[in-house]
Amino acid sequence: MFGGINPKKMQAIMKQMGISQDEISAEKVIIEKTDGSNIIIANPSVTKIQMQGQESFQITGEVQKETPAPEISEQDIKTVEEKTGATPEQAKEVLESVNGDLAEAILRLSE
């Protein structure tokens, strides 16, 4: 962005403008999303930037996504068993593969 400028000089300019940066040591950063899934950043490089009374964070690293496992109730397993004749293990496995969708699980086991 500012090629050729000495990093120390750049820090001095930023300080004059009221901008400060601090490196934060971290092993991983986890962002919990409202849909229940997580974004995990392994081996991150985290920089905290303070400017005009606001704090911002810049994060780079190895991004991984983690989705929550669906909650499969015993009643759902029994329903799939009754409708398809599947074993409890088969019913649970198929329910997990279709994120707990009863109708889809029954359709897959009925084929």
Summarised one tens digit per residue, pLDDT across range 25-84 is 999 999 999 988 899 999 999 999 999 899 999 999 999 998 887 889 999 999 999 999
Which run of H or E residues covers position 42? Answer: strand 38-51
For residues 32 and 83, give the distance between their C-alpha atoms in angstroms, rounded to a whole number. 37
Pull the structure tokens for residue 10.
Answer: 């750049």
For 7-66, the fitting CATH number among 3.65.10.10, 3.40.50.1220, 3.30.565.10, 2.20.70.30 is: 2.20.70.30
Overall fold of domain 74-110: Helicase, Ruva Protein; domain 3 (1.10.8)
What number is the average pLDDT over the span 86-101?
93
- What are the domain boundaries of the chain? 7-66, 74-110
Quick one: pLDDT band at residue 92, thresholds 50, 70, 90? very high
